[in-house]
Amino acid sequence: MLPVETAVRLKRNSAGLIPVVVQDISTKDVLMLAWADDEALRRTFSTRQATYWSRSRGEYWVKGETSGNTQYVREVRLDCDADAILYLVEQRGPACHSGLNSCFDSEKLLTDDTAG
Amino acid sequence: MLPVETAVRLKRNSAGLIPVVVQDISTKDVLMLAWADDEALRRTFSTRQATYWSRSRGEYWVKGETSGNTQYVREVRLDCDADAILYLVEQRGPACHSGLNSCFDSEKLLTDDTAG
């Protein structure tokens, strides 16, 4: 579970949420950015199934509960400012609801000018 | 520069900011999470030097301007919901002000239960 001393230090936004960067522990691809409150963190820590707070639906959301594309949380890191969290996960299937591997796979705003 | 059609779609928070996940393009380490408004994005796109909005200082912040630990932005991706951005950067020196490679290197809240 979430240690009390950590919970005290976490810097949440005005809605009580903290951003969670989700990275595939095998490929190191950044899969998505989601949000968690204390209860979502508590559920994630106790089950190791990535659980978030859906801001659009206003409810807890076990990633993959419907699609089967679950995230087993192998490691959780806190950043130096205590205002962002990183999950290292084993991703089953594609992480994005679009069917793409990562939610960041859909669109490049700026392309590599040093490639090729 | 930031394409108008992208700027229109971006989902900013109530302060006009969007979270930016920063990943080292070589090691694929997640280095930090920062925030940008439209002007910070515009500066980043035109200079390729990662520029953020510092919420604590209330000012634009060219990463590494003081420390020399700059981030050259090789690629920018938008996520499927248009509410988070990923920078793939060439990081010079350590990304974290603590001297660590990544801002997520300082503290593990949950350790790998399958290792070893």
Compare CB distances from A109 to B6, B21, B30 and report the shortest one's residue: B6
Q: Looking at the complex, does the CB of residue B107 fall below 8 Å from at least one CB of chain A?
A: yes
Q: What is the mean pLDDT of residues B41-67?
A: 96
Quick check: A19 and B6 CB within 8 A? no
- Is a pLDDT exceeding 70 seen at residue A83? yes
CA distances from B48 to A13, A83, B63, B70 (A): 29, 25, 11, 10
- As a whole number, the mean pLDDT across chain B is 93
Give DSSP secondary structure letters for chain B.
---HHHHHH----TTS-EEEEEEETTT--EEEEEEE-HHHHHHHHHH-B-EEEETTTTEEEETTTTTS--EEEEEEEE-TTSS-EEEEEEE-S-SSTTSSSSTTSSEEEE--SS--
pLDDT band at A1 (very low <50, low <70, confident <90, very high): low
Q: Looking at the complex, does the CB of residue A30 fall below 8 Å from at least one CB of chain B?
A: yes
Report the C-alpha gap between B4 and A9 in whole angstroms. 39
Q: What pLDDT is attached to residue A116?
A: 59
Q: What SS3 state is found at A32?
A: strand
Q: What pLDDT is attached to residue B1?
A: 65
pTM of the model: 0.95
Complex ipTM > 0.90: yes
Q: Looking at the complex, does the CB of residue A29 fall below 8 Å from at least one CB of chain B?
A: yes
Of B40, B71, B38, nearest to B53 (Cα)?
Answer: B40
